[in-house]
Amino acid sequence: MTDTATALTTQVYRVWIKATPERIWAAITDPEWNSRYAYQAPSYYELQKGGAFHATATKDMKDYAASQGFEVPDTIIDGEVLESEPPRRLVQTWRMLMDPSTAGEPFTTLTFEIEDAKMQAGVCKLTITHELTGAPATAAMVAGTDDMGAGGGWAWILSDLKTFLETGKNFAE
């Protein structure tokens, strides 16, 4: 996995996955799949220009927050689909609502690109580009560099996605 944070305002992450573009697309956009790796928060997409996007908090997230003395909203991330070209490209706006510092920032732009790897049949390159202009708290959180204990950001999510698609198990299993 290559994790290249070109700057906090533009972060680019790449991973090569032994899976078809269709499986990777489904793992990103289908709540039956995207709830099975990383933070396991189901994400819902209306896969058309102007379509809604949102991710919902899990019971574990809500329980953890309550044990720490704060609440997590039901919708933890929201946005809008700007482009949808299954199974190759998805561009959306993205805003994290779990924390007041990120919820108060502007929407950011997130792009998923899925390409066949030129070096190996049956392998795809997944690139995530996250444009984070004007959103320093979000940039720190998704880079996995924050001190708030939010986890490993996009690098961790992509690593777990790769593991899940290639083995059928996520990091927690």
The per-residue DSSP string of 102-157 comes to HHTSPPEEEEEEEEE-SSSTT-EEEEEEEE-TT-HHHHHHHHT--SS----HHHHH
Q: What is the pLDDT of residue 95?
A: 97
Query: Above 80 in pLDDT, residue 151?
Result: no
Angle between helix 153-167 and helix 21-29 axes, rounded to 10 deg: 130
Question: Percent of the chain at pLDDT above 90?
Answer: 72
- Between CA 95 and CA 78 the distance in angstroms is 5
- Mean pLDDT score, 11-26: 97
- Mean pLDDT in residue range 53-72: 91
Using one digit for the tens of pLDDT, what is the confidence trace for 89-139?
Answer: 999 999 999 888 899 999 999 999 999 998 889 999 999 999 999 999 999
Tokens of 163: 């593991």
pLDDT surpassing 60 at residue 4:
no
pTM of the model: 0.90
What residue segments make up the domains of the chain, in order of their start? Answer: 2-40+82-167
What pLDDT score was predicted for residue 112? 98
CATH of domain 2-40+82-167: 3.30.530.20
